Amino acid sequence: MEMDKVLDVQNLHAVFRINKKEYEVLHDISFSVRRNETVCIVGESGCGKSVTTLCVMGLLPKNGRVTSGSIRLDNTELTGLSQKAIRKFRGSKMGMIFQEPMTALNPLLTVGYQMRENLILHRGVDRKKANEMAVEYLTKVGIANPEQRLKQFPFQLSGGLRQRVLIAMVLSAQPDLLIADEPTTALDVTIQKQVLALLNHLKKEMNAGIMFITHDLGVVAEIADRIVVLYAGRKVEEGTVEQIFRNPLHPYTVGLINAVPDVEKEEFVIQPIPGMFPNITEEIPGCRFNPRCPHAAECALCSKEAPKMTEAEPGHFAACHLITAGGAQHD
Amino acid sequence: MGRYIRKRIVMMFFLLIGMTFIVFASLYLAPGDPAEIAAGPSATVEEVERMRVYLGLDRPFFVQYFTYLTNLFKGDLGTSLITRQPIRDELAVRLPNTLNLAVASMIFASAIGIPLGIIAAINKDSWIDNTLTTLSLAGISIPNFWLGSILIITFCVQLGWFPTGGMDAPFWTAHGFKQAVLPALSLGMQVAAGFTRIGRSSMLEVMQSDYIRTARSKGVAENRVIWIHALRNALIPIITQMGTSFGGLLGGAIVTEQVFAVNGIGSYLMNAISQRNYYAVQSTVLVIAFMFVVVNLIVDLLYSVIDPRIRYE
């Protein structure tokens, strides 16, 4: 089972330096991604989803750093590696698809150049062979006239096509781990569906693990095997997609699910989570969610002590004082 | 692409017509009397009047302007009021020197300024960056006539490495190179400093962009990220700056040519202004405007070489 883990993140802590002061943006994050599995990292903007991906890719901005914890990719420890050393894993072992397909491709280089660059670098082929393979991968992601597309520049393609090009490019290096940071957010709904179906299909075909970042629970329901819910740099709940949707334990997860408007209900109302997402500089004692939590008023512990991660049912973890009483201690 | 160039050339034509009108009108409105200058200081009132009729200055403004325009189309830039020589011939002798100086300065500015800007950007906030940013600020602030004089005192008078002035050979010949080094340095310094600053900021902006992150996430080596993925994108605003700085070079040449005794159109214009040689001023300004417009057309064509988004429009 351990061998199956493509990515294993344990007790990851990361900080950002702002105005000469360091603020913790990730606190004790643990999760893993197995082969042929999609793990969705869910949370509001600023909760640490993207920072987690950047930690894994080793692409944190200069003012950010991992302070402790471990990130293992195919059983190789990535934390503490130099930029040069971690670069060898980028692209080849882990590929990343970004949120903004409109700006993620270099506007001055042809699609073909950018695809070939990746193939030559990671598959060790010559230019001619790289071209053939690029055609093959573009076909695989469902792009018509691949030969012609290779000669085009990104601005000549639509957003959906660009995202497909990016997916084809990332996959062409045959990574074991695919990190997708909100890859469908900038696309319209029909294209979104197509891209998700494509990712699902490719995951099985390539036997890769996908770490999928999103705040869209509709997307989560469609693609996830397991879900990790982050709130303000902390993991608050983790479980399979059925467990989370059927039986969300953490009040924040409940809030997220309730916030999705249900068109089949009689009254069509949006239920936002009350309060504001905390600023990075804010110190919140106890559970980070307590100022917004509907249950915190009844609980004496919530504003004093941080809740521990508890396994409520097999494979379903949550960090909340409300369930700590009933469930077994996790660690 | 062909359509784009044609469109630009047609626009350039109308721009130059507008330019002739502004130049002609401003000299028409300027105080002083060309007839008096042409007739000489000892001329009688009758002689001045005769000269006025001879030069056509007694006719209405628009008649004069259209005569001037038709002459321009025939390639006639008028006659110098002082030397009585065709201005076209006088400029033809001097123009190569000015172009020689301007191009040498531009090459110096690009070769020094752009790489320094990029080096500053990729070493952001280090001592290298701080030094280069300070130096470029100094470079922009130093007036070129002052720098020229200092260079002459140091390298010509004291060290004797370069001639103090003159320019009679193109800068790519050994002799011409020696003559061009100091004037190009003093004229190109501000432009070089400008390139460093804009190169730095443009490179910094590009390095922040999504496609650079994509390139890095692909595992592309940092050198390739900088030189293949970032540089060409960063060059776009630098090229814009090149076009506008060329105008600055032509303007700066007026002073630099004086300092280094270069027989170019800058010093010609300077003399023409001090002698109130109206027609010479008119034609020289027009020639400078023409060069500026042509250079900017070349710049626009350069864009399309670099940026496919313009090429395919």
The β-bridge relationship of strands A177-181 and A209-214 is: parallel
Chain A CB within 8 Å of residue B77 CB: no
Report helix angle B265-274 to B87-122, nearest 10.
120
Per-residue pLDDT, averaged over B71-98, amounts to: 84
CA distances from residue A104 to A173, A266, A318, B130 in whole angstroms, order as listed: 17, 41, 35, 31
- Name the residue with tokens 């399979």: A240
What does the mean pLDDT of chain B come to? 85
* Contacts of A34 by beta carbon, 8 Å cutoff, 6+ apart: A4, A5, A6, A209
Contact yes or no for A117 and B218 at CB 8 A: yes
Q: What is the pLDDT of residue B50?
A: 84
Chain A CB within 8 Å of residue B208 CB: no
Per-residue pLDDT, averaged over B218-235, amounts to: 89
Q: What is the pLDDT of residue A330?
A: 39
- Residue B258, H or E segment: helix B231-259
User: Hey, how many other C-beta atoms are within 10 angstroms of the C-beta on A84?
Assistant: 9
User: Hey, how many other C-beta atoms are within 10 angstroms of the C-beta on A41?
Assistant: 28
Chain A CB within 8 Å of residue B2 CB: no
Single-letter amino acid code for the residue at B41: P
Contact yes or no for A107 and B229 at CB 8 A: no
Contact yes or no for B218 and A109 at CB 8 A: no
Of B209, B218, B309, the CB nearest to A118: B218
Please report residues of B whose CB lies closer than 8 A to that of A89.
219
pLDDT tens string B22-52: 988 888 887 777 777 777 778 788 888 888 8
Of A100, A108, A110, the CB nearest to B232: A108
Contact yes or no for B211 and A156 at CB 8 A: no
Contact yes or no for B219 and A121 at CB 8 A: yes
Please report residues of B whose CB lies closer than 8 A to that of A58.
none
Please report residues of A whose CB lies closer than 8 A to that of B217.
57, 59, 90-91, 95-96, 98
Structure tokens at B2: 């062909």
Contact yes or no for B221 and A104 at CB 8 A: no
Q: What is the pLDDT of residue B120?
A: 92
- What's the CATH class of domain A5-93+175-326? alpha beta
Per-residue pLDDT, averaged over A25-43, amounts to: 90
Name the residue of chain A whose CA is nearest to B304's CA: A108
User: Complex ipTM, two decimals?
Assistant: 0.83
The confidence band for A130, taking pLDDT boundaries of 50, 70 and 90, is very high
Size of interface A-B (CB pairs under 8 A): 75
SS3 content of chain B, % helix, strand, coil (to 5): 80, 0, 20
**Which of B103, B188, B187, B173 has the alpha carbon at shortest distance from B145?**
B187
> Would you call A128 exposed, middle or buried from its count of C-beta atoms within 10 A (0-12, 13-18, 19+)?
exposed
Q: What is the pLDDT of residue A329?
A: 41
Of A92, A95, A103, the CB nearest to B211: A103
Least confident piece of the model among A7-21, A75-89, A203-217, B175-189: B175-189
Name the residue of chain B whose CA is nearest to A60's CA: B213
Mind telling me how many Å the CA of A269 is from chain B's nearest CA?
36
Please report residues of A whose CB lies closer than 8 A to that of B308.
107-108, 110, 153, 155
Between residues A148 and A302, which one has the greater pLDDT? Answer: A148
Name the residue of chain B whose CA is nearest to A58's CA: B217
pLDDT at A222 over 70: yes
Grouping H, G, I as helix, E, B as strand and the rest as coil, residue B44 is coil
Percentage of chain A lying above the pLDDT 90 cut: 20
The confidence band for A327, taking pLDDT boundaries of 50, 70 and 90, is very low
The confidence band for B117, taking pLDDT boundaries of 50, 70 and 90, is very high
| Rounded CA separation B51/B44 (Å) | 11
Do B48 and B36 form a contact (C-beta atoms < 8 A)? yes
Mind telling me how many Å the CA of A63 is from chain B's nearest CA?
12
Per-residue pLDDT, averaged over A299-320, amounts to: 83
**Which of B234, B151, B236, B248 has the alpha carbon at shortest distance from B192?**
B248
Mind telling me how many Å the CA of B138 is from chain A's nearest CA?
29
Do A133 and A123 form a contact (C-beta atoms < 8 A)? yes
pLDDT at A220 over 60: yes
Residue-wise DSSP of A260-291: S--TTSSS----PPSS-PPPTT----SSTTGG
* pTM for the structure as a whole: 0.78
Please report residues of B whose CB lies closer than 8 A to that of A108.
232-233, 306-308
Name the residue of chain A whose CA is nearest to B124's CA: A62
Between residues A25 and B1, which one has the greater pLDDT? Answer: A25
The confidence band for A112, taking pLDDT boundaries of 50, 70 and 90, is very high
Contact yes or no for B229 and A103 at CB 8 A: no
A228, β-bridge pairs: A41, A238
Mind telling me how many Å the CA of A96 is from chain B's nearest CA?
6
**Cα pseudo-dihedral A315, A321, A323, A325, rounded to 10:** 120
Please report residues of B whose CB lies closer than 8 A to that of A166.
214
**Which of A193, A259, A246, A114 has the alpha carbon at shortest distance from B212?**
A114
Q: What is the pLDDT of residue B146?
A: 86
Contact yes or no for A103 and B209 at CB 8 A: yes
Chain A CB within 8 Å of residue B216 CB: yes
Which chain B residues in 271-310 lie under 8 Å from chain A, judged by CB atoms? 306-309
Q: What is the DSSP letter of A296?
A: G
**Which of B218, B215, B237 has the alpha carbon at shortest distance from B226?**
B215
> Structural domain boundaries of chain A?
5-93+175-326, 107-174
Kindly list the residues of chain A whose beta carbon comes within 8 Å of any beta carbon in chain B: 57, 59, 83, 87-92, 95-96, 98, 100, 103-110, 117-118, 121-122, 153, 155-156, 166, 169-170, 173
The confidence band for B195, taking pLDDT boundaries of 50, 70 and 90, is very high
Q: What is the pLDDT of residue B181?
A: 78
A227, β-bridge pairs: A40, A239
Do B308 and B234 form a contact (C-beta atoms < 8 A)? no
**Best residue of A106, A123, A178 to probe chain B, by most B CBs closer than 10 Å:** A106
Which of the residue ranges A292-301, B30-39, B293-302 has the most confident prediction, judged by mean pLDDT? Answer: B293-302
Q: CA end-to-end span of chain B, whole Å?
A: 7
The confidence band for B108, taking pLDDT boundaries of 50, 70 and 90, is very high
Please report residues of A whose CB lies closer than 8 A to that of B233.
106-108
pLDDT tens string B53-78: 888 888 888 888 888 888 888 888 88
Contact yes or no for A156 and B214 at CB 8 A: no
Grouping H, G, I as helix, E, B as strand and the rest as coil, residue A176 is coil
The confidence band for B111, taking pLDDT boundaries of 50, 70 and 90, is very high
pLDDT at A1 over 50: no
pLDDT tens string A182-192: 888 777 788 88
Contact yes or no for B217 and A88 at CB 8 A: no
Name the residue of chain A whose CA is nearest to B234's CA: A108
CA-based R_g, chain B, Å: 24
Single-letter amino acid code for the residue at A128: K
Contact yes or no for A108 and B306 at CB 8 A: yes
Name the residue of chain A whose CA is nearest to B217's CA: A90
Chain A CB within 8 Å of residue B232 CB: yes
